[in-house]
Structure 1
Amino acid sequence: MRVDRTVAVASAGSALCVTVVVFWAGDVYAALGDSDPGRLTSLAFGIVRTLANAAATVAVGALAFAAFVVPAPPKRIKLTAHAYAAVRTAATAAAVWACAATCAVVLSAADASGQSAAVALDHLGGLVAATEEPKAWICSAVAAAVVAVGARATLTWTTSVLWLVPATVGVLAPVIAGHVANGAWHDVATNAMIWHIPAAAVWIGSLVALRAYLRRPGTSATDVVVRRYHRLTTWCVVVVVLSGSVAGAVLAGPIGLHSGYVVLLLLKLSVCAAVPVLRARWGVRRPLGVELVAVGLAIGASAGLTHLVPPAWFARRPSPQETVLGYELPNPPTPAELVLGWRLDLVLGLGAVVLAVVYVVAVHRLRRRGDGWPVGRTVAWLSGCAVVLVVTSSGVGRYAAGTFSMHMVAHMSLNMLAPVLLVLGGPATLALRVLPPGPRQWVAALLHCRAARLVAHPAVAATTFVGSFYVLYFSELFGAAMRFHWAHQLMNIHFLLSGYVFFWLVIGVDRAPRTLPHLARLGLLFSVMPFHAFFGVILMNHQTVIAEFFYRTLGLTWVPDLLTDQRLGGGIAWATGEIPVLVVVLALLRQWAVADRREAVRFDRATDTGHDDRLAAYNAMLAELSGRKN
C-alpha cells in the first residue's frame, strides 16, 4: 500500500485530533464514578483505536473498490490487475488492523477498569470476561486476521466480495459494543451505527484505493472507475451524515447542546457533508487530496467522541427497561398499543422500506421499456416487506423484545411468513432483467458461486432452518442474545435469511444454485414441518423459564407468570406455522402444474414436427452400442 504525502497529512490530522481531545477533556472518568487509567493509557488507546479504525475502513473500502468499482472481465472469473492491487491493499490494511485491534484488547480493558495497561495485562483474562468492549476488539482482531490471510490469497471476484462479510463484522464489533449500546434509546443509536460504519468504511477505503489507482500509469481521471467511485461514495456520504446525525442526537441528548461533545460531533458531520459540495465545485481529480485529509479529521473526531462521555448519560438515570431495551414497556400489549405504538427499526424496518421502493422502481423501469412483469410477484414482494416492517417496527416489534409470546409472533413472522412472500417476488430474476451488464454479472456470479451452492444445499438449508430453533431456545444462547440489542438484531436477521433460503429451494421464483424436482421439493417441505410442530409442543410443556434472568431483570409487572407467557409462545409457534405451510403447498402445486403444462406443450410441438427427444436419445444409445460391437 503506497503512502504519499496526503496520506501522511491525513494520519497526522487524525492523531492530532485525538491528542487534543484526550488532554482537553481532562478526567472524563470521575463523572461516572470510575477511576482514571492515566493520560498516557487514554492517549495510547485513542491512537490505537484511530489506527485500527483507519486500517479497518481501508480494508473494507478497498475490497468494495475491487468488487464494484474496477471493471472486471466479462465472465467474472479472475480479478483484473487493478482489482487485484486493491485486494492486496485490503490485505495489507487488514494485517495492520489485526495488530492494532490486538493491542486495543489490552488498552480497552485498562480503560474500562481504570488501570494502567501494564496492570490490565496482568489481569487480562478476568477483565475481558467482565467487560464487553475487550470482547468486541477480540472479535475485530480475529475478523481482521481472517481477511488479511484470505484477501492475500484471493484471485477471483466472488471471493473478494465474500471477504466483505467478515470485514464488515469486524469493523462493526467495537462500535456496537461501545457508547451506543448503553442508556435510553440505545436501540436507535445502535441501529443507526449499523448503517453508519459500513458506509463510512466503503467511502474512506474506496478513496484510498482510488488514489492508488490514479497514481498508476495508464489510468484516467475521467474513466468509468472514477464515475463508479463517485456514484457509490455519494450514497455512502448521505448515509454517513444521516445515520451519524441520528446516533449523535441520541448520545448528545437535550442537555448536551452546548457541550464539547456536540462541538466535536458537528465538526465530524460538517466535514463529511462538505465533501459533495467540494466534488460539485472542483470536479473529479482535484478534491481527492482534500477529501482524504477531511476524512482523516473525521476519523480522529470519531475516536475522540468515543473517549468523551455522552451528555445524554447525565440527563437522567435510565430505568432497568431502558437500560436493557432502550425504552420502557409500562403497559400490556393492547390492540391499540400493537397498532399505534410504532418505533421504527432502522435496520430491518427501514431496510424493508428501501427494498420495497427499489423493487417498485425496477418494475417501473421494466414496464417503461415495454417488458411485462407479473403483478402477483410485485404483490408478494411488497407484502413480504410489509410483514417485516410491521413485526419489527410496530407495537409487535416493541413488545417482542420484552415478552416471550410476542417474541414468538415476530420470530414466526420473520421465519415463516415473510420469506414465503419474498421468494415469490423473484427479486433476482427482476434484477437480472433490469440491471445493466456489469451489475447483472455480479448478481449472476453471486447466485452461482460455491458459497451460494453450499448455503442452498437442501441438507444445509433444512438443518439451519429447523435446527436453529432447538439450538437457540434450549441452550443459554437465547438468554445471552436478548441482553444485547445487536444480538437481538442478528437473531432476527438469521430468522429471515434462513427462512428465505429454505423457501427459495421449495417455491422460489428465482433459479436456485441447486434445482430440485417438484416431488423432492414437496418431500423436503414435509420432512421439515414436523420439527416445527414438535418445537411448539415442547415449549408448551416446558417446565422451566427460558431466559428467566433476562425477563426478571425487565420487571414487567403486567407479566405475572413468565412460564404461562412462555407456553403461550409455544402455542403461537405451533399454530402459526400452519397457514404459511398451506400457502407454500398451494404455491408449489401450482408451480408443479404449470411446469407439467409447459412440458406437455413442448412434447406436443416436438411430436407435431416429427422430432422426439426421447426417441432420438434412444436411437443414439443404440447406435453407440452398435459401434462398440463393431
Structure 2
Amino acid sequence: MPSETPVPAPERRGTASAVGVLVVTAGVLAALIAAALTTLSAGASYALLGLPDPGPITKYGLPVVRVLAESGAVVCIGSLLLAAFGIPAKRSGALAADGYAAVRTAGWAAAVWCLGAALMVPFIAADATGRPVSDVLSAEVLFGLVDALEEAKAWALTALFAFMVALVCRVVLSWGWTVVTFGLGLAGLFPVIATGHSASGGAHDIATNSLLFHLFGAVIWVGGLVALLAHAARGGAHLPLVARRFSLVALVCWAAMALSGVINSLVRVSPEQLFTSTYGVLLVLKTVGLVALGVFGFFQRRSVVQRLDDGAGRSALLRLGAGEVLVMFATIGIAVALGRTPPPDGAKEVPGRTELLIGYPLDEPPTFLRLLFDGRFDLVYGTLALTLAALYLVGVHRLRKRGDAWPVGRTIAWLCGCATILVATSSGIGKYAPAVFSVHMGQHMLMSMLAPVFLVMAGPTSLALRVFKPAGKSQPPGPREWLLAFVHSPVTRLLTNPIVALALFVGSFYALYFTGLFDVALTEHWAHLAMNAHFLLVGYIFYWPVIGIDPAPRPLPSLGKVGLVFASMPFHAFFGIALMMSQTVIGASFYRGLDLPWMTDLLADQRLGGGLAWASGEVPLVVVMLALLIQWSRADSRAARRIDRKADADGDADLAAYNEMLKQLSDKDTPRRS
C-alpha cells in the first residue's frame, strides 16, 4: 500500500471541526426542510383524523425533533460501522486509535439520538390527540397516552436502545464488543420501522419489509459517509482501504434503497397520483435525490479512491463528501415530511378485516396446489434465500476459476436449503402461515428442521475461508479474519455447546406455544420475521455440530452426535402429541378475528398442526442418519488410504514393528512356560 502523507496536527483539528460544523449545518438544513414541507400536509392530516390544530410548537416541533433523533442515529450507526468493519483493528483484537475515536463519536451521537427519541414521545402523544405539547407533559397524562399509542411506545423503546448504546460506547475497547454494539444500534431502528404508514393498512407486510431495507440502507449509507469524512479529517490511517470498503457498502445500500423505495411507493401510491398529490410529489423529490446521489456519488468516489491509492485525493474526498452529506440530509428532511403526510385517498381499495390484520386477503381455503403455487414473495426471507444461493455460487465459481475443486454435493445441499427457505416463506405456505395454524406449523418445521440440515451439509464457512484471501502479517485484518473471529468467539462456543443447543432447539417449541408468547406475536408483523429467524438460526446451531461439514467450535464424537439427535426426538414427539390432545386453541382471539369463512374448526386445525409437528420429526432424523453414515464411511476410507500411503512410503514399518514386538513377547514367555 502506498505511504500516506501525514497530516499536521493543527490541520487535523481544524478539518475535524469543519466536519462537525458540516454535520450540524446539514442537520439544521434537514430540520428546516422538514418543517417547511410539513406545512403542505399538516392541516390535511389533522382534518382527516378529525383533530383540532395542536398549535405551531407541536406541528413544527415534531419534524424538527425527529430530524434530531434520526441525525443522531445516522452518525452513531455510521461511526460504529466504521470502527467495526472499516478501520482495521489490532491483531490482539483491541481497537486502534482511529477506531476508538470513531466509537467515542458514536457514543456522543447515541446521546443525541436518545435525547431526540425521548422528546419524540410527548410530541407524538400531543400530535396524535391534537393538543399542544405542554398539555401532555404531566406524568399521568403522558403515561396514559404512551400506553395507548404504539408509535409513542416505539420511540420510548428506541430511546432505551440509544441509551444503552451510549453507555456501552463509553467502555468498549475491543473489536468484538464494537461489533456487538453496532448490532445493538441496528436493533434500535426496529421499533420505529414497525409503526407508521408502512405498518398499517393493506399490504403492510410488503410495506414494512421494504421499509426495513430502505431505512437500514439509508442509515448505513449516510452514516458511513459522515464517519468516512471524519476519519479523513482526522488524518486517519489506512484511508484508501477504508474508502474502498465504504464504496462497496454504499453501492449495496443504494441498490437496496432504490428497489425497496419503488416497492414501498407502489404499495401506498398509484402511478397516476405521483404528481397529483402532496405525498406523491414528496416521494418523487426523495427518489430523484437518492438516485442522483447513488449514481454520481459512486462514480465520483471511485475516482477519488484511485487517487487515494496514489497518496493524494484526501481534499477531493472531503469536498465531494461535504456536498453529498448536505444533499443526503436534505433528503432526510424530505423523508421526515413524507412520514408526516398521509397517503392520498383512493390510492388503494379499502382493505378488509383479514387484509388489515395480515396485510392481504385470503378468499379461498388452502389446498395442495395453492400451498405450492399461490405464493406471495417475502421480501426479507425470499431475498435472503436468493442472495445466499447467488453468493455461494459465486464463491464456487471463484474456486474453480483458480483451479480448486469443490464437491458438487455440497453445492446441491446449499441450493436445496435455500430452496426450502424460499418455499417456506414465499410459496402458498408462506402466504397462508399467518392465518392458518397448521400451515404455520408446517412452515416452522421446514425452517427449523429441514432447511438447516441442508445448509450445514454445504460447508459455507469452509467455502468462505477458501475464497477469502488471508491477510498478511503486516496487513490489516479482513473478511477472512472477521469470520474466524466469529466462529471461535465465546458466544459461538456457548451456543454450540450440546446442552445449550439441545435446550434452544427443543425448548423453543414449548416456550413459544405453551406460554402465551405466540398469542402476542400473532398480531405483529415484525414478530413473524423474528420467529422465522429464530427457527432458522436455532436449527442451524443444533445441526452444525451433528452433521455440519464446517468444523464446530465444540466437536462431538460419533456416538455423541447420534445421542444428541435421539435425545431431541422424545421432546418433539411429546410436543406434537400435546398439541393434538389440547382442548385450548392457541391464538384463538386472533384466528377468530380474521373471520375466515372457510376456517370453522380451529381446534381441528390445531390438531392437524400437532400431527405435522409429530410426523415431520422423523424426516430430518432419516436425513441426519444417512448423512452420518456417509460421513463415517468416507472417514474410514480416508483413514484406510492414509494408512496405505504411509505403508508404501516406509515399507510397512508399522506392521514390521508390531510383529517384532509380538516375537519379543513370545521369546520372553517361552522360558516361563518351560
TM-score, normalising length from structure 2? 0.87
Q: Provide the rounded CA distance (Å) in 2 between the counterparts of 1:313 and 1:472.
A: 40
More deviation, 195-204/4-13: 4-13
Is 1:530 aligned to residue 563 of structure 2?
no
CA distance in 1, matches of 2:441, 2:177: 36
Deviation at residue 265 of structure 1 after TM alignment = 1.5
Query: Residue 620 of structure 2 aligns with which residue?
Result: 580
Tell me how far apart the structure 2 counterparts of residues 493 and 557 of structure 1 sit (CA, whole Å): 31
For residues 456 and 313 of structure 1, what CA distance do their matches in structure 2 show? 53
Quote the residue 1:319 is aligned against: 352
What root-mean-square deviation, in Å, do the aligned CA atoms of Structure 1 and Structure 2 show?
2.2
Instruction: Report the Cα offset of residue 139 of structure 1.
Output: 2.1
1:294-333 residue pairs with structure 2 within 5 A? 294-311=327-344, 315-333=348-366
Pair 1:606–1:405, CA change in 2 (3 A):
same
1:374 to 394, 407, 411: 407
Distance 2:226 2:108 in 1: 13
Q: What amino acid sits opposite 2:84 in the alignment?
A: A
Partner of 1:199: 217
Give the equivalent residue in structure 1 for 2:110: 94
Q: Does 1:119 align with 2:157?
A: no
Residue identity matched to 1:206: G
Contact 2:95 2:174 in 1 (8 A): yes
- What is the deviation of 1:463? 1.3
- SS of equivalent residue, structure 1 residue 142: helix
AA paired with 2:77?
V
Give the corresponding residue for 1:44.
61
1:462-501 counterparts in 2 under 5 A? 462-501=502-541
Conservation of the 8 A alpha-carbon contact between 1:92 and 1:148:
yes
User: Which residue matches 1:233?
Assistant: 250
Question: Which residue of structure 1 lines up, in the alignment, with residue 196 of structure 2?
Answer: 178
Q: Distance in 2 between matches of 1:555 and 1:62?
A: 48
Change (3 A) 1:566 1:312: farther
Unaligned runs of 5+ in 2: 1-15, 305-316, 471-477, 659-674
Q: Distance in 1 between matches of 2:641 and 2:369?
A: 54
Percent of aligned pairs with the same amino acid: 46
Matches for 1:426-465 after TM superposition, within 5 Å: 426-437=459-470, 438-465=478-505
In the TM superposition, residue 12 of structure 1 has moved relative to its aligned partner by: 1.7
Q: 1:50-88 CA distances to partner (integer Å, 9 max, x unpaired)?
A: 111121122222211122222333x36122222222222
Map Cα deviations across residues 430-478 of structure 1 (whole Å, 9 max, x no partner). 1000013321111111111122222222222221111111111112211
Which residues of 2 match residues 211-226 of structure 1 at below 5 A?
211-217=229-235, 223-226=240-243
User: Structure 1 residue 362 and structure 2 residue 380: aligned?
Assistant: no
Go from structure 1 to structure 2 and tell me whether the alpha carbon gap of 1:494 and 1:38 turns closer, same or farther (over 3 Å shift).
Answer: farther
Are 1:292 and 2:325 an aligned pair? Answer: yes
Q: Is the CA contact (8 Å cut-off) linking 2:273 and 2:347 kept in structure 1?
A: no
Aligned length: 611
Whether the 8 Å CA contact 2:268–2:347 is kept in 1: the answer is no
After superposition, the C-alpha distances for 1:466-521 in whole angstroms (9 at most, x for unaligned) are 11111111122112111111111111111111111111121111122222222222
- Report the CA distance shift for 1:238/1:589 in structure 2 as closer, same or farther (over 3 A): same
- Which residues of 2 match residues 513-524 of structure 1 at below 5 A? 513-524=553-564
Q: List per-residue Cα deviations over 1:388-409 (Å, max 9, x = no partner).
A: 1111111111011110011111
2:125 aligned counterpart, secondary structure: helix
Offset of residue 224 of structure 1? 1.7
Contact 1:62 1:90 (C-alpha < 8 Å) held by counterparts: yes
Query: C-alpha offsets along residues 108-136 of structure 1, whole Å, 9 cap, x if unaligned?
Result: 22323333333333322222222211221
1:371 Cα deviation after fit: 0.4
The 1:141/1:562 distance shift into structure 2, 3 A limit, reads same
| One-letter amino acid matched to 1:15 | A
Q: Cα–Cα, structure 1 residues 137 and 218, in superposed 2: closer, same or farther, change >3 Å? A: closer
Partner of 1:618: none
Q: Indicate the residue corresponding to 2:227 in structure 1.
A: 209
Report if aligned partners of 1:479, 1:546 keep a CA contact under 8 Å in 2. yes
Residue 148 of structure 1 deviates from its aligned partner by 1.6
Q: How far off is 1:150 after superposition?
A: 1.7
Are the structure 2 counterparts of residues 523 and 104 from structure 1 closer, same or farther at C-alpha, using a change threshold of 3 Å? same
Q: C-alpha offsets along residues 359-406 of structure 1, whole Å, 9 cap, x if unaligned?
A: 111101111110011111100100010011111111111011110011
Instruction: String of CA shifts for 1:256-297, please: whole Å, max 9, x gaps.
Output: 322111111121221111123333257421421111001101
| Contact persistence 1:261–1:305 (CA under 8 A) | yes
Whole-angstrom CA distance in 2 between matches of 1:313 and 1:301: 23
Residue type matched to 2:623 in 1?
V
Name the structure 2 match of 1:340: 373
Question: Which residues of structure 1 form unaligned runs of 5+?
Answer: 616-630
Which residue number corresponds to residue 620 of structure 1?
A: none
What is the one-letter code of the residue matched to 2:181? W
2:668 aligned partner: none
CA distance in 2, matches of 1:77, 1:605: 42
Residues 419-439 of structure 1: per-residue CA shift (max 9 Å, x gap): 111111111111000013321
Instruction: Please identify, of 84-93 and 121-130, the stretch whose mean Cα deviation from structure 2 is larger.
Output: 121-130
The 2-side partners of 1:444 and 1:166 are apart by: 21
Partner of 2:444: 411
Matching residue of 1:627: none
Q: CA deviation at 1:34?
A: 4.1
1:347: how far off? 0.1
Shift of 1:43: 2.0
Distance 1:256 1:431 in 2: 47
1:628 corresponding residue in structure 2: none
Contact in 1 for aligned 2:77/2:220 (Cα 8 Å): yes
Within a 5 Å distance, the mapping from 1:138-287 to structure 2 comes to 138-217=156-235, 223-253=240-270, 256-257=273-274, 258-279=276-297, 280-281=299-300, 283-284=303-304, 285=317, 286-287=319-320
2: CA distance between counterparts of 1:302 and 1:461?
Answer: 43
1:52–1:97 Cα contact (<8 Å) kept: yes
Residue identity in the other structure for 2:21: R
Deviations 1:157-184 (A, max 9, x none): 2221122222111112212222110011
Name the SS of the counterpart of 2:481 in structure 1: helix
Question: CA–CA distance in 2 between the matches of 1:501 and 1:39?
Answer: 54
Query: Relative to 1, partners in 2 of residues 1:218 and 1:546: Cα closer, same or farther, differing over 3 Å?
Result: closer
User: Are residues 167 and 381 of structure 1, via their aligned partners in 2, closer, same or farther at CA, if it must alter by over 3 Å?
Assistant: same
Is this contact kept in 1: 2:512–2:518, CA < 8 A?
yes
- C-alpha separation between the residues in 1 aligned to 2:92 and 2:644? 39
Select 2:608's aligned residue among 565, 568, 571: 568
Contact 1:253 1:312 in 2 (8 A): no
Kept in 2, the 8 Å contact 1:63–1:86? The answer is yes
- 1:129 & 1:597 partners in 2: Cα distance? 65
1:625 paired residue number:
none
Residue 66 of structure 1 corresponds to 83
Q: 1:115 to 1:228 in 2, by over 3 A?
A: same
State how far apart, in whole Å, the 1-side matches of 2:135 and 2:72 are.
Answer: 27
Structure 1 residue 595: Cα displacement: 3.4
The one-letter code sitting in structure 2 at the alignment partner of 1:351 is L
Please say if residues 399 and 406 of structure 1, whose CA atoms lie closer than 8 Å, have aligned partners that are also in contact.
Answer: yes
Q: Alignment partner of 1:311: what SS?
A: coil
Residues 291 and 471 (structure 1 numbering): CA distance in 2 closer, same or farther, change over 3 Å?
same
Residue pair 1:189, 1:250 contacting (<8 A) in 2 also = yes
Indicate the structure (1 or 2) with the bigger Cα radius of gyration. Answer: 2
Letter of the structure 2 residue corresponding to residue 329 of structure 1: L
